[in-house]
């Protein structure tokens, strides 16, 4: 058991949460990897279950030096994780500025037309920028987000330089295009684990979408913030944001509303609320079917949305409620239908399939799937696919399966 617990601290999400002293994330991720209840974690660190729950939901904070020390000792946090740079120097807020991924003052000045550009804009130019953005979205599916960040920031600057020269309906279209670029930048920041930058970009995109009267983008940004909450283990926040997307934009397309419904379903599943999750999944599936019949009604960023994608999302909800065979079936079916150029997404769903197989006790099959997707997880799947493979290793280790040690070793070799 001791070796298993020590191996958990190799999980990137757990290590980064300790480095940032994000104790809510430490508690959530530790419990998930160790497979223990809030009551049991409380026993380890000397806290009552309601206190553990309050910290996990970010309603309470660990401010006492004495409580912090009990957490460190009770969970066996390795000393080297505690000796990293302080959260002020290396946390997500600092990275927002040092990595240059969030909106900056110069860009915001462009938004308010402080930059007096002489460039005149016409429909052909905006059509070209629309096509360019669509191509970049599809490229990101194959090569991942990292190579495209600087390109997209510069492209958004170009859009904003056009704002001062736009007149009449073209002005509204420029704002709508800016909202789409900001949403894509938010997604890429989220994909790289830069949560603060992602939230800043989603907020900016949402504001521009409202200014342009774009219900589809306004709804999408709330759904994607719900996705961020889900990724962080905040099921309740996920549900609330997804429901806000549903009621705030009733005029959005069926596909966009379907995305919000399935996001709420995944939040309920994360909370262990199986019936609510299944009800919303059925609602979302009906919207998906209608969207497939009228693809011309869907916004361009929903190009990936369809039955295959929805099947994969259902599989992820199955994982949360521990319906392992259903998860394996849905993820396998979805992966079979997913085109090869979705390299990053294939890597993510394969890592989820490895997790499902591990949960079902199929250790050998889980290891095979995990090892097959490990090279792509290292290349284009960090941090999400990479973290999921670490989670799979933790599940196998918890079961005492030798495959857990093999996968842990392989993850270390890929570094």
Q: Is the pLDDT of residue 65 over 60?
A: yes
Q: Are 187 and 147 in contact (CB under 8 A)?
A: no
- Residue 172 tokens read as 């509204």
C-alpha torsion sign, points 297, 249, 145, 312: negative
What average pLDDT does range 325-334 have in this prediction?
97
- CA-closest candidate to residue 15, choices 91, 90, 81, 86: 81
What average pLDDT does range 56-74 have in this prediction?
87
What average pLDDT does range 334-358 have in this prediction?
94
Radius of gyration of the chain, Cα coordinates, nearest whole angstrom:
22
pLDDT of residue 84: 47
Q: Is 254 helix (H, G, I), strand (E, B) or coil?
A: helix
- Residue 364 tokens read as 């050998």
Model pLDDT for residues 189-211, shown as the tens digit of each residue = 988 888 888 999 999 999 999 99
- Backbone dihedral angles phi then psi of residue 193, each to the nearest 5 degrees: 80, 15
State the average pLDDT for the chain. 86
Q: Is the pLDDT of residue 396 over 80?
A: yes
pLDDT of residue 57: 86
Helices marked H in 76-148: 79-82, 87-90, 92-98, 105-111, 123-143
What average pLDDT does range 352-358 have in this prediction?
97
pLDDT of residue 123: 86
Q: Are 263 and 230 in contact (CB under 8 A)?
A: yes
Model pLDDT for residues 67-122, shown as the tens digit of each residue = 888 899 899 888 888 754 433 333 333 333 334 566 655 444 444 333 344 456 78
- Backbone dihedral angles phi then psi of residue 10, each to the nearest 5 degrees: -80, -10
Q: CA-CA distance, 319 to 12, in Å (whole number)?
A: 20
DSSP for 199-245, please give it. Answer: HHHHHHHHHHHHHHT-HHHHHHHHHHHHHHHHHTT-HHHHHHHHHHH
Model pLDDT for residues 121-142, shown as the tens digit of each residue = 788 888 999 999 999 999 998 8
- Domains of the chain listed by start with CATH number: 2-82 (1.10.260), 100-213 (no CATH)
What average pLDDT does range 175-182 have in this prediction?
93
pTM, two decimals, is: 0.77
Q: Is the peptide bond before 383 cis (omega within 30 degrees of 0)?
A: yes
pLDDT of residue 264: 97
Q: Which residues of 339-375 are buried (b: 16+ CB within 10 A; e: fewer)?
A: eeebbbbbbbbbbbbbbbbbbbebbebbbebbbebbe
Model pLDDT for residues 235-284, shown as the tens digit of each residue = 999 999 999 999 988 899 999 999 999 999 999 999 999 999 999 999 99
């Amino acid at each position: 058991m001791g070796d298993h617990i020590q191996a958990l601290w190799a999980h990137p999400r757990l290590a980064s949460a300790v480095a940032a002293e994000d104790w809510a994330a430490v508690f959530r991720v530790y419990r998930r990897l160790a497979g223990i209840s809030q009551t049991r974690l409380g026993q380890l660190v000397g806290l009552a279950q309601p206190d553990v729950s309050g910290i996990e939901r970010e309603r309470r904070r660990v401010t006492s030096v004495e409580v912090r020390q009990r957490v460190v000792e009770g969970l066996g946090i390795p000393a080297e994780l505690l000796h990293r740079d302080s959260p002020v120097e290396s946390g997500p807020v600092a990275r927002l500025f040092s990595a240059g991924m969030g909106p900056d003052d110069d860009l915001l000045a462009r938004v308010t037309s402080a930059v007096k550009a002489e460039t005149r804009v016409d429909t052909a130019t905006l059509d070209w920028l629309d096509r360019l953005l669509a191509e970049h979205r599809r490229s990101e599916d194959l090569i991942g987000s990292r190579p495209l960040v600087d390109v997209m920031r510069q492209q958004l600057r170009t859009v904003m330089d056009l704002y001062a020269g736009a007149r009449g309906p073209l002005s509204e279209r420029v704002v709508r295009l800016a909202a789409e670029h900001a949403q894509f930048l938010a997604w890429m920041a989220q994909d790289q684990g830069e949560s603060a930058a992602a939230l800043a970009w989603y907020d900016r995109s949402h504001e521009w979408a409202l200014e342009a009267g774009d219900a589809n983008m306004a709804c999408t940004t709330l759904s994607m913030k719900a996705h961020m909450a889900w990724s962080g283990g905040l099921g309740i926040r996920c549900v609330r944001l997804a429901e806000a997307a549903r009621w705030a934009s009733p005029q959005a397309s069926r596909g966009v509303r379907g995305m919000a419904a399935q996001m709420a379903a995944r939040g309920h599943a994360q909370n262990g609320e199986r019936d609510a999750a299944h009800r919303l999944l059925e609602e979302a599936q009906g919207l998906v079917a209608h969207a497939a019949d009228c693809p011309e009604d869907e916004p361009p960023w929903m190009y990936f949305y369809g039955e295959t994608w929805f099947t994969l999302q259902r599989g992820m909800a199955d994982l949360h409620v521990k319906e392992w065979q259903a998860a394996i079936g849905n993820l396998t079916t979805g992966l079979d239908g997913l085109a090869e150029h979705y390299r990053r997404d294939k890597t993510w769903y394969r890592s989820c399939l490895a997790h499902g197989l591990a949960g079902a006790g199929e250790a050998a099959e889980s290891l095979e799937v995990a090892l097959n997707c490990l090279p792509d997880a290292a290349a284009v799947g960090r941090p999400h696919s990479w973290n999921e493979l670490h989670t799979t290793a933790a599940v196998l280790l918890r079961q005492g399966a030798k495959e857990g040690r093999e996968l842990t070793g392989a993850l270390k070799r890929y570094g």
